[in-house]
Structure 1
Amino acid sequence: MDIRTPIPSQSTRFLDRLRNFIRLRGLAYKTEQTYVFWIKRFIRFHGRRHPETMGTVEVEAFLSHLVLQANVSVGTQRVALNALIFLYREFLDTPLEDLQYEMAKKPKKLPVVFSPEEAASAIGNLEGEYKLIAMLIYGAGLRINEALRLRVKDVDFGMQQLVVRDGKGGKDRITLLPDRLVKPLQQQIDTALHLHKADLARGFGSVYMPAGLSRKYPSASQEPDWQYVFPAPDLSVDPRSGIKRRHHMLDRTVQKHFRIAIRAAGIRKPAGSHTFRHSFATRLLEAGY
């Protein structure tokens, strides 16, 4: 990143003020990175003009360029649109007019799925927490980031269910916890809490808290219930607060292990973590749900 972290509260730089505004709104750090990326790209596309001197016409030109010249997907164009709507409606308090631009077309592709044998073979090539994450995606229908963001309090062994917080579209939902995952998940939580106890003894032990809760409950970040089920192997500095703490495992590391396991299973499909989830949905449909 080219912006200092944490950001000086009195900074007059445009992107510094934008980042501080995003953080005050309590948006996720990944959302902050995404919005800033697309807003910077928008500014550069228009010769580094200040956004306050631009508006609907310039946004339309940029969004059309993404499709006609950059050949981006529907999802990518939508993310860019969301970033620019946030910029003008929320940050600059200048809502855009009805936008008319070239829209990306969604390709008609069938999702890649595993057969039960392929899924078992790929999962069998994984070990430890990587295997458990794959089993949660395949057995409970979680997205990879939903699995990695699970906290201890989100697992209800009594009801055998998982609470998925801030899923796609910012919504919470409840999903099933298969019988065969109860014991390994209990063991994983024990491991995570043992690591948390060791962190506390070393003067650390805090975890990132959702928007607003860190101010409302300042001590909650060190409570066991808020710890991640799949903690990262090392402590790292929170780029927003500057606090050294333990985050959850990185999705790119998990994805790498998945790709290796899939290749080792002799599977030649263009598959990844999403394939386990698509296969979960397919099994439900085949079972009549």
Structure 2
Amino acid sequence: MTEPQPPRLLDRVRQVIRLKHMSLKTEKSYVYYAKDFILFHDKRHPKDMGVPEIRSYLSHLAIDKNVAASTQNVARNALLFLYQQVLQIDLPFLDGIEPAKRPQRLPVVFTRTEVKAILDNLEDEYHLMASLLYGSGLRLTECLNLRVKDIDFEYRQIIVRSGKGNKDRMTMLPTSTIIPLKLQLEKAKLIHHRDLAQGFGAVYLPNALEQKYPNANREWSWQFVFPSAKRSIDPRTGIVRRHHIYEDSLQRAMKAAIRKAGITKHGSCHTLRHSFATHLLEDGYDIRTVQELLGHKDIRTTMIYTHVLNRGGRGVRSPLDA
């Protein structure tokens, strides 16, 4: 009887990522850069390479492919993960591979008038989701991943689960979104009941909760607030179930709304979050309160939104306006 072959390297990368409950997006990125790293070095096995080859590959991305600093950092993190977590190789100076420096850029911010114009050009669930991005300071993925149990109407708050950095936080639930949200939940509940009647209705649960609570995935409280119009096959498990609305859908709707509103700024869904923070600071709210609502680990990240309050030239009045 022949012994089973050990899993191939990229399959091992996938296995470790799933054991650590990392996102599917992270899995795709890390697998891609591990494979690209190997191909760049003529299919040599990573265990036969080291820090010089990693630096050479990262330089190739920056110089030959002209990728952004953020992309180069994703590749760097993927290779650190490959060596440290998958291959269990402690290379000297591996942690000393510096991340690429991101250029210091000020965030694009919509004015309040522009936000209203954008929302006026969105309909149905897209209008509601964009309202939450702006009114609650949610990231796009945080909004899409909202579950029924995360909405607290009585205390008018939203609980953001496993946000950036795998942290939970609370933020406000705008009063103007309460009625639309309740209507959206009624719509989602009808979809869920129909799925249950057809033998489906199970939803993905994070952090291996399906093993701990085997029936929780069919409970109403765990369903997505914004379910997809169609069921799909989970790429990891092959199970057919209903996920949340795909992020590209809202991004396309947002892009069209910006165009219809006649706004020339290069904005996106995330610009609504920038606008949320800036407008709160304009209204006089304490920066640490805004930091908490945004879920920033370092207050220096939040400080970037004070640029709007400086009004150009740190509040200096132009001689032309004197």
Task: Report how far residue 18 of structure 1 moved.
Answer: 2.2
Is 1:61 aligned with 2:56? yes
Task: Report how far residue 11 of structure 1 moved.
Answer: 6.0
* Structure 2 Cα separation of the partners of residues 169 and 69 of structure 1: 31
Residues 16 and 85 in structure 2, CA contact (< 8 A), matched pair in contact too: no
Aligned to 1:147: 143
Is 1:12 aligned with 2:43? no
**Percent identical:** 51
Q: Does the C-alpha gap of structure 1 residues 25 and 102 become closer, same or farther in structure 2, counting only changes over 3 Å? A: closer
* Structure 2 Cα separation of the partners of residues 190 and 51 of structure 1: 52
Q: How does 1:229-248 map to 2 (within 5 A)?
A: 229-248=225-244
The alignment partner of 1:169 has SS state of: coil
Equivalent position to 2:193, from 184, 192, 197: 197
Residues 73 and 99 in structure 2, CA contact (< 8 A), matched pair in contact too: no
What are structure 2's unaligned runs of at least 5 residues? 286-322
Q: How does 1:124-273 map to 2 (within 5 A)?
A: 124-273=120-269
Q: Which moved more, 1:275-284 or 1:163-172?
A: 163-172
Q: Does the C-alpha gap of structure 1 residues 262 and 182 become closer, same or farther in structure 2, counting only changes over 3 Å? A: same
Task: Report how far residue 97 of structure 1 moved.
Answer: 2.5
Q: Which moved more, 1:124-133 or 1:209-218?
A: 209-218
Letter in 2 for 1:62: Y
Higher RCO, Cα 8 Å, sep 6+: 1
Residues 10 and 34 in structure 2, CA contact (< 8 A), matched pair in contact too: no
Moved over 4 A (4+): 99-103
* Structure 1 Cα separation of the partners of residues 5 and 280 of structure 2: 53
Letter in 2 for 1:118: E
Q: Which moved more, 1:127-136 or 1:151-160?
A: 151-160
Q: Which moved more, 1:81-90 or 1:94-103?
A: 94-103
* Structure 2 Cα separation of the partners of residues 103 and 245 of structure 1: 38
Q: Does the C-alpha gap of structure 1 residues 54 and 285 become closer, same or farther in structure 2, counting only changes over 3 Å? A: same
Is 1:38 aligned with 2:27? no
Determine which structure has more spread, i.e. the larger CA radius of gyration: 2
Letter in 2 for 1:203: G
Residues 85 and 96 in structure 1, CA contact (< 8 A), matched pair in contact too: no
Task: Report how far residue 14 of structure 1 moved.
Answer: 2.1
CA RMSD of aligned residues (A): 1.6
Task: Report how far residue 218 of structure 1 moved.
Answer: 1.5
Task: Report how far residue 70 of structure 1 moved.
Answer: 2.2
What are structure 1's unaligned runs of at least 5 residues? 1-8
* Structure 2 Cα separation of the partners of residues 31 and 157 of structure 1: 33
The alignment partner of 1:170 has SS state of: coil
* Structure 1 Cα separation of the partners of residues 99 and 211 of structure 2: 41
Aligned to 2:311: none
Task: Report how far residue 55 of structure 1 moved.
Answer: 1.8
Task: Report how far residue 71 of structure 1 moved.
Answer: 2.2
Q: Does the C-alpha gap of structure 1 residues 102 and 28 become closer, same or farther in structure 2, counting only changes over 3 Å? A: closer
The alignment partner of 1:168 has SS state of: coil
Q: Does the C-alpha gap of structure 1 residues 104 and 20 become closer, same or farther in structure 2, counting only changes over 3 Å? A: closer
Equivalent position to 1:120, from 116, 119, 123: 116
Q: Render the CA deviation track for 1:180-235: whole Å, top value 9, x for unaligned.
A: 11111111112111110110000000111102211111111111111000000000
